C-alpha cells in the first residue's frame, strides 16, 4: 500500500497558537506511520510556513510544560528563537508532493474558513469542515442564530461590535441591564480555548471585561450565565454523522477558562456525563441537529449547558477543530465510543477524501 503524504498544519496566527502545537503533537504521535507519511508544517504568528527541520523540532518541544511553568509569553518567545536559530527558508506548498492536509489550527486563520479556502484553491483535500461551515461556526453569534432556527435553545445575549464600544461605551453599558440579568459572560465572538472570556457578576465589572474582549476581536458577545452542567458531545462524519456519549466538565475554578484548561489542569472530566439516560439522548440529538444545521463535515465538538432539574438543554458553541491534546474532550469522547486515537486520525483522513453528497434521509 502506497503511503499517503499528509501535511500536518499547526501554529498559525491566532491567540491559540501554542494550543495548536500541543494538539498537533498528539496527532503526530497517533497517525499510523505504515499508511501515512506526515510532513509537519509550522505556521508562525506572522504567517510564515516552515516544514521538516524546525517544524519537527517544535513538535518535539514540551511546550505544555513550558506554558505551565512560565506562561504563554515565554513559550511564544521560545518558538520565535527556535525559528530564527534554524536559518530555514519558508516552506513552498506547490512542489511538496502533498496528498492531503490535516489542519490543526485553532482559531483565526485556521478554523474560520481561510485555510480551507486556500486548500480548496490549490486542490488539496483536507480534514474537517469546508469554507462555509468553518466561517459560520467560528462566529459564535451567527452559530447561535442558525441553531436557534433549527429549534435548539440558546442563551439570551447581546452582540457588541468593537467599533461601537469604542465610539459609545456609555450607551452600550446602559442597555445591558434592560436585556440581561447578572452574572453574564463576555466573550470574543471568533476566539476559542476560552481566550478573552470574562465572567461579570456586577455592572461595575463590565467595562473592563468589554474593553479586554474588544481588544481581541471585532465582535463580542455578552451572554446570560446559564445554570446547569457543562456538557460536550463529539460528532464525527460527513453525510451520516455519529455522536459520542455526553462528556461533562466540572470546572476547577469559577468557570472553565484558559488557565483551568491548560495551566492548572484542575477541571474534572466525566465520561459519560452524570445525566439521566433520556436527557443524554436529547443532548446527543441536539448535537447532531446543530452539526447538520451548520453544514459541518468531518468533525466538531458541540457544547451545551444542561440543567438536570428543569431538563433544559441550551446550546453554547461549536468547535470544528476541537482540541486534540492529551486532556482534550474530543479524542477522549471518541476513545470512549470505541474509536482510539490512531483510528480517529485515519477516519478523519478518509472522510476528507469523500465527495460531498446530499444527506440520506
Q: Which residue has the higher pLDDT, 95 or 292?
A: 292
Alpha carbon 292 to its chain's center: 17
Return the percent helix, strand and coil in the chain, to nearest 5.
40, 20, 40
Which own/partner contact pairs does 193-198 have at CB distance under 8 Å and 24+ positions apart? Answer: 193/15, 193/16, 193/19, 193/106, 193/107, 193/258, 193/261, 193/262, 193/323, 194/256, 194/257, 194/258, 194/260, 194/261, 195/15, 195/16, 195/107, 195/258, 196/15, 197/255, 197/257, 197/258
CATH superfamily of domain region 138-154+227-353:
ATP-grasp fold, B domain (3.30.470.20)
pLDDT at 275 over 80: yes
Give the other-Cβ count within 10 Å of 70's Cβ.
Answer: 12
What is the 8-class DSSP label of residue 3? P
pLDDT at 254 over 80: no
pLDDT at 42 over 50: yes
d(CA 132, CA 109): 14
Task: Match 506511520 to its residue by C-alpha cell.
Answer: 33
CB 78 within 8 A of CB 61: yes
User: Can you give the pLDDT at residue 265?
Assistant: 66
Domain boundaries, the chain: 4-126, 138-154+227-353, 157-224
Preceding amide of 168 cis, omega within 30? no
Which CATH number does 4-126 carry?
A: 3.40.50.20
Q: Which residues of 208-240 are buried (b: 16+ CB within 10 A; e: fewer)?
A: ebbeebbebbebbbbbbbbebbbbbbbbbbbee
User: Which tens digit of pLDDT belongs to each residue from 125-151?
Assistant: 999 999 999 999 999 999 999 999 999
pTM of structure? 0.89
User: Can you give the pLDDT at residue 251?
Assistant: 80
d(CA 319, CA 160): 21
Q: Is beta strand 4-11 parallel, antiparallel or unpaired with respect to 100-104?
A: parallel
User: Which tens digit of pLDDT belongs to each residue from 276-330?
Assistant: 999 999 999 999 999 999 999 999 999 999 999 999 999 999 999 999 987 899 9
336: pLDDT confidence band, cut at 50, 70 and 90? very high
Closest CA to 195 of 20, 3, 1: 20
361: pLDDT confidence band, cut at 50, 70 and 90? very low
The maximal CA–CA distance of the chain, rounded, in angstroms, is 65
d(CA 80, CA 353): 35
d(CA 13, CA 107): 8
Q: Which residues are catalytic?
A: 16, 193, 262, 301, 303, 317, 319, 323
CATH 3.30.420.280 for domain 157-224, yes or no, is no
CA torsion through residues 215, 221, 223, 228, sign: negative
Kind and range of the H or E run holding 137? helix 131-138
Give the other-Cβ count within 10 Å of 361's Cβ.
Answer: 3
d(CA 276, CA 286): 16
pLDDT at 263 over 60: no
Amino acid at each position: 500500500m502506497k503511503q499517503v503524504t499528509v501535511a500536518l498544519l499547526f501554529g498559525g496566527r491566532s491567540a491559540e497558537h501554542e494550543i495548536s502545537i500541543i494538539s498537533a503533537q498528539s496527532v503526530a504521535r497517533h497517525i499510523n506511520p505504515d499508511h501515512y507519511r506526515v510532513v509537519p508544517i509550522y505556521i508562525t504568528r506572522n504567517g510564515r510556513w516552515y516544514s521538516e527541520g524546525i517544524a519537527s523540532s517544535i513538535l518535539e518541544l514540551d511546550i505544555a510544560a513550558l506554558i505551565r511553568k512560565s506562561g504563554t509569553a515565554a513559550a511564544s518567545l521560545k518558538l520565535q528563537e527556535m525559528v530564527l536559530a534554524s536559518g530555514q527558508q519558508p516552506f513552498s506548498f506547490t512542489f511538496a508532493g502533498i496528498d492531503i492536509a490535516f489542519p490543526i489550527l485553532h482559531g483565526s486563520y485556521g478554523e474560520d474558513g481561510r485555510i480551507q479556502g486556500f486548500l480548496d484553491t490549490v486542490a488539496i483535500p483536507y480534514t474537517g469542515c469546508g469554507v462555509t461551515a468553518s466561517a459560520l461556526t467560528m462566529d459564535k453569534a451567527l452559530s447561535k442564530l442558525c441553531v436557534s432556527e433549527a429549534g435548539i435553545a440558546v442563551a439570551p445575549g447581546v452582540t457588541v461590535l468593537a467599533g461601537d464600544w469604542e465610539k459609545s461605551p456609555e450607551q452600550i453599558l446602559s442597555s445591558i441591564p434592560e436585556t440581561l440579568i447578572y452574572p453574564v459572560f463576555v466573550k470574543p465572538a471568533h476566539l476559542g480555548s476560552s481566550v478573552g472570556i470574562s465572567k461579570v457578576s456586577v455592572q461595575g465589572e463590565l467595562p473592563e471585561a468589554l474593553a479586554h474582549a474588544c481588544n481581541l476581536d471585532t465582535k463580542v458577545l455578552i451572554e446570560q450565565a446559564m445554570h446547569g452542567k457543562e456538557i460536550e458531545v463529539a460528532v464525527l462524519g460527513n453525510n451520516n454523522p455519529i455522536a459520542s456519549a455526553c462528556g461533562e466538565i466540572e470546572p476547577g475554578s469559577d468557570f472553565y477558562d484558559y488557565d483551568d484548561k491548560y495551566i492548572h489542569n484542575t477541571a474534572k472530566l466525566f465520561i459519560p456525563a452524570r445525566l439521566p439516560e433520556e436527557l443524554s439522548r436529547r443532548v446527543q440529538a441536539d448535537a447532531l441537529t446543530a452539526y447538520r444545521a451548520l453544514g459541518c463535515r468531518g468533525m466538531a465538538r458541540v457544547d451545551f449547558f444542561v440543567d438536570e432539574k428543569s431538563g433544559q438543554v441550551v446550546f453554547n458553541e461549536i468547535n470544528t477543530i476541537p482540541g486534540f491534546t492529551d486532556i482534550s474532550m474530543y479524542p477522549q469522547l471518541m476513545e470512549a465510543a470505541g474509536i482510539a486515537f490512531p483510528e480517529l486520525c485515519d477516519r478523519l483522513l478518509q472522510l476528507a477524501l469523500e465527495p460531498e453528497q446530499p444527506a440520506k434521509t
